[in-house]
Amino acid sequence: MTTDTQTRTRSFVQALNEALDLCMDAYPEMFMLGEDIGVMGGDFGVTRRLFQKYGAERVRDTPLSEAAIVGTCVGAAMVGMRPVAEIMFADFLGECFDQLVNNAAKVHYMFDGQFKAPLVVRTACGGGFGGGPHHSQSVEGWFLNVPGLVVVAPSTPADAKGLLIASIEDDNPVLFLEHKALYSKKGDVPEGMYRTPLREADVARQGSDVTLVATMRMTTEALAAAETLADDGIDVEVVDLRTIRPYDVDTIVESVNKTHRAVVAIEAPKMGGLAAELSATISEECFGVLDKPVVRVAGLDAPIPFSMVLEKYVLPGRDDIVSAIRSM
């Protein structure tokens, strides 16, 4: 729901910055913490100018300790604050995995509702820029098996702003994934405070021949692939997941019931990840209407190379999606 329907062109980074600024102004219990988010404005510029506006008490530079950052968030959230942490690269969520999985995600359950953990952990994920094996991973699969945790993954600037506001206002711990390849992406972004609902997928493109489920950068690749296939008379419906956990089963099932075919496009490796989860759900829920088995388009089961040529080989893209759909 928007409070102002006027839109302007903004980049993904600018949209995130607007969301943080609006929420910092609206909620005095909110504060931010992370490495270099203060004077520097964050490694990718998402928190730029917020230190100057809100001061060092509410925009806190931290030591290089992901466990300390998220541990502080959990404690602060339990006593009524709404912390928003930045973990510079998602690859290093392993350093605070215990704080997220065994503390934040379980606080409400373990204390029988007496405490909650309304915190957001923002982090940059994904490849496409030659960052190598320690700065390019897609980590959503690490957290699929954690009840109590919400995982959000926008693909457009408008959704980035709306989903971040909704995440900050949510009473659950939220892992907010920002694909680095999307930071420069531009689009129409409404002014003012608005919320994009969590746990609701978006039908980014209507179609009748095949359902293509994607998230983050792969949504962009999916839409490009759909345009290519349209020239061949193949009408692709693209479903942008937006929230990865818990994901919107109903929208996916409704689409597959219409198209009778499904492809899942995910950047992470195929084994044990989101692509496998979605494929299994579609097969279970839509078995009677599927004309073909579900096809998964995913990254290779390999570390991400530094070489851009090899990285392109490991990571999936629009050409892989086009080939998968044509094969059906």
Residues with catalytic function: 135
Residue 197, SS3? coil
Residue 8, SS3? strand
C-alpha closest to that of 76 among 95, 57, 89: 57
Put the strands of the sheet holding 262-269 in their side by side order. Answer: 202-205, 236-240, 210-214, 262-269, 295-299
Q: Which residues sit opposite 137 in a β-bridge?
A: none
Distance of CA 91 to the CA centre of its chain: 14
d(CA 155, CA 101): 25
Q: Are strands 243-245 and 150-152 parallel, antiparallel or unpaired?
A: antiparallel
> In the 8-state DSSP scheme, what is residue 99?
I
What is the radius of gyration, based on Cα positions, of the chain?
Answer: 19
Is 316:138 a contact under the CB 8 Å cutoff?
Answer: no
Give, to the nearest 10 degrees, the angle between helix 157-169 and helix 12-26.
30
Is 77:83 a contact under the CB 8 Å cutoff?
Answer: yes
d(CA 108, CA 89): 27
313 exposure class (CB count in 10 Å sphere: 0-12, 13-18, 19+): exposed
DSSP state letters, 53-67: HH-TTTEEE--S-HH
Is 16:160 a contact under the CB 8 Å cutoff?
Answer: yes
Give, to the nearest 10 degrees, the angle between helix 318-326 and helix 217-230.
50
